[in-house]
Structure 1
Amino acid sequence: MPRPNSFRASASSCSVGRVDFEEAASALYAASAADFIATRNELAKQLKADGDQLGSTRLKALRKPTVAGWLANLVARERPDDIDDLLALGDEFREATADLDGERLRELTPKRHKLIDKLSKSAIGLAEREGQKVSADVAQKLRETLDAALVDPSAGEAVREGRLSSALRHVGFGVVDESGEPSNITPITDERRQRAQARRAKAGESEKAAADKAAEKESAAEKAKREKAEREQVEREAAEKAEAKQELDDAIAAAEAADATVEDLDSQLSDARDALAEAQEAVHRIGEELDEARKAARAAQKESREARKRYNRL
């Protein structure tokens, strides 16, 4: 079953100031099934304390919803726009039926199935969120209730009010409850309809205010996030600029050191080239002197041989 305390806050909210029957009934059917009796007693007691004895008596007469009824009420509260679409589609069906417009009815039928499928799937998800498992039988009863809301205007208004005590089913002559008995749905009076519309409008205003506040909060958060990102970007750019400046300084120093090295090596190379030229000149000169010495040695050797010959002839 649903979480026992999931909607206790709804009844508690009615205890602030005076509460009328309509508000009390809405809070009662918003309570979990496990809390239904306790919530009904609490709200009836409050109505009586506020001087509304009739409202207290009427509230005590309200029946605890079946699981299917509770599920239909949950969908009505959580998916009001989809319920409005369902009832609007019902209006189109009735107009097409009154006009005997078969082509229009064939166009609307797939929409009917699609919307009921959508609401049924949403209901299962919502029920699981509340801790309630949905059996195949309950799911079928919910579909029948939604279909009855589409077909019958009074059933549609009852579903939208979210105060069903039983699932509904449309049969040829009207709407019946889960036991097969004619439903006790009565057409909603103009006054009740106006009050219901006023409550929905007030709820819509509250939701809009909450959404605006959340958007404002989100906007402030986004602004802070953007400003932080901008600061971080500036800091990153400054760090990158400082790093680039350091790299430039290092590169300049390295280039200057390289230039000095090149200049020194160029000087050494020039000195080496001068020394090489002098050495080459000395080599050439010594070579020439060596050639002259060799010639003189050969001449002396020749003269020595001639002198030896002359000596031997004596």
Structure 2
Amino acid sequence: MPTPAEDPADALYALEPDRFVAERAALVAALRAAGDRAGAARVRALRKPTRAAWAVNAAVRADAAAAGELADAASALQAAQEGVLAGGEAAELRAAELRARAAADALAAAAPATDGATADKVRATLRAATVDPAVLAEVVDGRLVREQVASGFGGFGGMAAELPASAPPPSPRADRAAKAGAASAGAVRAGAAAAEQERAAEEERLGRERVEREAAAEAEREAAERQAAEREAAERRERLRVAREKEAAAEQAVAAARGELEQAEAALAARREQLDAAERRLADARERREQAED
């Protein structure tokens, strides 16, 4: 199975969803501080995963072997479907479907414990990955953002059960009877297939509506979190501005005090020179007095 590319942003998708936004902001800040503005913009655009999508990402990281089996089973299922359309054996398709479902369930078992609805979304997403290459690519990359649903089982739901296995050619009389019965059975199957398609379409519609509602709610939460982060950043900028102003004022005070000290030291040096001169004059005067006394 291909492993996710080495990327600092990859660690974000290993986090639980409630930590995603704060860690993403920290990573963006670190990249900006390092001068990588393009990388910061790319990370800022990363979407927070839903709970079910996070569980799928966690399962892929927890059980790489199960994720690899899912990818292999999906490839085998696609090959079996193409083989049946080309006139191949239905038994191969049945076996491939069973393997794909087992692979999806095995990887779902590696996901973190979640509530029942989320667990159902995890299984639905992994089964969708076995029939949709785009979903499979997101899953094995470990950066799934939204749960996914598939209409039927890749357009082949129940197909293997309806297709007969290979058998010896029938006798002419049995062949005529089989054809007569097949016409009636075909009509029944056609009606059942139409009903199944309608049911699958309705399930898909309901699933997509649910995903859209959850996506809208998630977008609102992200907007609120983004606004909170922007307010916090603005407050930090204001605190930094005030601190810089205080620092500048303190530097000016230090400079003024240093200037006054230098003036005082210069005046003291002048006073010391005057004192030295006066002491020299005093010494000369004393020497002359002593000479006069002698």
TM-score, with length taken from structure 2 = 0.47
Bigger CA radius of gyration: 1
Relative contact order, CA 8 A, sep 6+: which one is greater? 2
TM-score, with length taken from structure 1 = 0.45
